[in-house]
Chains A and B, each alone.
Chain A
Amino acid sequence: MRDKVMSADEVVASLRDGMTVGIGGWGSRRKPMALVRAILRSSVTDLTVVSYGGPDVGLLCAAGRVRRAVFGFVSLDSIPLDPHFRAARQRGAVEATEYDEGMLLAGLRAAAARLPFLPTRAGLGSDVLRLNPALRTVASPYADGEELVAMPAIELDVALVHLNRADRHGNAQYLGPDPYLDDVLCAAARRSYVSCERIVPTDELLRGGPPQSLLVSRMHVAGVVEAPRGAHFTSCVPDYGRDEPFQRRYAASGADPVAWQAFLDEFLAGDERSYLAAVDAFHGAAA
């Protein structure tokens, strides 16, 4: 079996400007933040980002890498709104395709099944349809008289997800309470990259969790990145919870360009190793 282990920078080197990138996790939970940070180190830009959005979307928007955000929400969970995303939207710097959460899932499922659309009731009567004039409804061919939203497939060039464990071939496992939609996202993408807390031999995967924790199969995975604390500062249960003090610092830096530059200088000027060292230093001051 192929060895797909690579670095975060190698993953990002395979990205191109203008791509549609799906990002896994949910809000400020198990986001592939090490891969997002690698994008920030690169010059990749003009991205369309599809996400159940959290600080992944906020960071990329603040760094000017996002042309269009496709989302049902963008939230930091313990802080309801991401100030960086808000600021970018309010500057008019980021276009938005706004969906209902279930519509987003239907669109990803359609792409995963190579269908042009899936019917859904969600969206009818709301401004989602008015805002996306290309959206169409579809009439049931049966005798029920129903006319539903024809949610178009959301095809992804690339999916980026972070899980707790993976083997070198791309079989990936979540150990927390929620898989989020990472499996659907990977199936909807032409290429998917998994970062994980720890790469383990295949025969160790089932020692960590039950068979149904094996969420993503290697058939959907092009590359595996070992990235300990790679979801920081979002949660990656049970390996670690959300880093709330750090998230507050991130959110506070959304207030003005000077604070944001200071955040960049302190945490994001170097590589992943220096990021984690700066995070430790941030906490060391308190510990």
Chain B
Amino acid sequence: MGQDGGVSRAEVCVAACADTWRGAGEVLASPIGALPMLGARLARLTVEPDLLLTDGEAMLLAAEDGVVEGWLPYGKVLDLLAGGRRRVMMGASQLDRHGNQNIARIGPATRPTAQLIGFRGAPGNTVNHTTNYWVPRHSRRVFVERVDAVSGVGHDRAAAAGPSALRFHDVRVVVTNLAVLDFAGPGGSMRLRSVHPGVTREEVLAHTGFPLAIDEVTSTRLPTDDELTLIRSVIDPRGLRDREVPA
């Protein structure tokens, strides 16, 4: 599956990430990590031209050529997200079947076996605006029965916390190196929506630490020719995508 001939797995993932920005409109796109960033840029060059993107720091960049159109330092992002004009794609060290996400730590709070980055903005993101996740290595280590700390709020926890937690809660899609999943299963549980070309549903189930809801499982769409050209020659000519998702 070379760059010149067939479509690589990483390219399928970039397009799947791009699809998570569909319908976002004129809001700040906050992709955390390489593939989400490529996906957001692809979405802006195709179906969502009004998305806003930063340089990863304080500047809003109007286009791929780096023209600055605005200023958004971290403090302003923290204010902005409460207003909801934002959509984020975060990573996850753990995710459970209801979309509870952990990036804080593995093990007990008093003495973690692995201290991770902390809660970051995950609690605020998940109760304020649409949140999606990207998992570069779909495994039972990530997809667990119970997360060790709930940093991103899942559907069950939002419902239990009451109307103020639910009001803007919208945890929607998980894209992995194997599949696209959503929360259209019973009771807002995780459902297998599509498997990437070359991946079987059994493979996805074997790498998921809980039963997935399954109805119609489709094949994740291939990038269009236009998208492939954009990915390969405009947004990722150096092939960052292949480092995160090997062929």
Closest chain B CB from A126 CB (angstroms): 4
**Chain A residue at minimal CB-CB distance from B163:** A145
Interchain CA distance A86-B114 in the complex, whole Å: 7
Check if A124 sits within 8 Å of B120, measured CB to CB.
no
Pick the interface stretch among B146-154, B183-191, B198-206. Answer: B146-154
* B119 interface contact, C-beta 8 A: yes
**Which B residues, 21 to 69, have Cβ-Cβ distances below 8 Å to chain A?**
57-59
Check if B119 sits within 8 Å of A100, measured CB to CB.
yes
Interchain CA distance A55-B110 in the complex, whole Å: 21
Closest chain A CB from B66 CB (angstroms): 14
Check if B122 sits within 8 Å of A126, measured CB to CB.
yes
**Chain B residue at minimal CB-CB distance from A53:** B118
- Binary flags per residue of A124-168, CB closer than 8 Å to B gives 1, else 0: 111110110000000000000111100000000000000000000
**Which A residues, 52 to 86, have Cβ-Cβ distances below 8 Å to chain B?**
52-53, 71-75, 80-81, 85-86
Interchain CA distance A128-B151 in the complex, whole Å: 7
Using A86-B115, A121-B164, A146-B164 as known contacts, say yes or no to A127 and B73 having CB atoms under 8 A apart: no
**Which B residues, 103 to 157, have Cβ-Cβ distances below 8 Å to chain A?**
104-105, 109-124, 126-128, 149-153, 157
Chain B residues whose CB sits within 8 angstroms of the CB of A131 once the complex forms: 109, 149
Chain A residues whose CB sits within 8 angstroms of the CB of B160 once the complex forms: 125
Check if A90 sits within 8 Å of B114, measured CB to CB.
yes
Check if B149 sits within 8 Å of A127, measured CB to CB.
yes
Binding site for B on A (CB under 8 A): 26, 52-53, 71-75, 80-81, 85-86, 89-92, 95-96, 98-103, 105, 120-128, 130-131, 145-148, 177-181, 184
Binding site for A on B (CB under 8 A): 57-59, 71, 73-75, 78, 81-82, 104-105, 109-124, 126-128, 149-153, 157-158, 160-165, 167-169
List 22 A–B pairs whose Cβ atoms lie within 8 Å, in order of A's numbering: A73-B118, A85-B115, A90-B111, A90-B114, A98-B119, A100-B120, A101-B120, A101-B121, A102-B82, A120-B124, A121-B128, A123-B123, A123-B124, A124-B165, A125-B126, A126-B119, A126-B157, A127-B104, A177-B57, A178-B74, A180-B75, A181-B74
